[in-house]
Amino acid sequence: MSKKPSLDLIEGACLVLISSGKSHGYQLAKQFEVETVLGEVLTLSRPVVYRSIKSLEAHALIRSVESTGVRGQLKWQLKCTVDGEKLAKQWLSEPVTR
């Protein structure tokens, strides 16, 4: 990675969740619903989460891989790239500044 992208709160949170195994866009978006632990702190709509996924893909921090769902339907599994894994760990370890 020649230049590290600057992640906003939403992109950073999505990248960390993907690195921890949340592998589908729908599954990722569910984590930000108001009824969840994370959603109590940061509630996001699905379009906002999907926009973040696209941004992370554009920066080559994640990639989408075709997979098959339990009912045989096509699904896109999200995986961190090596650079994405590194940036997720770095993002978690940096102190929050205000």
Would you say residue 47 lies in a domain? yes
Q: Strands, DSSP E only, in the chain?
A: 62-68, 74-80
Query: Could you read off the pLDDT of 37-67 as tens digits, one per residue?
Result: 999 999 999 999 999 999 999 999 999 998 8
The answer, as to whether pTM is greater than 0.95, is no
State which residues form the domain around 25: 9-93
Query: Could you read off the pLDDT of 59-96 as tens digits, one per residue?
Result: 999 999 988 878 888 888 999 999 999 999 999 998 87
Would you say residue 4 lies in a domain? no
Joined together, the tokens standing for residue 7 give 């992640």
Joined together, the tokens standing for residue 51 give 């926009």
Would you say residue 24 lies in a domain? yes
Distance from C-alpha of 95 to C-alpha of 11, rounded to nearest angstrom: 16
Would you say residue 98 lies in a domain? no
At 79, give phi and psi (nearest 5°). -135, 140
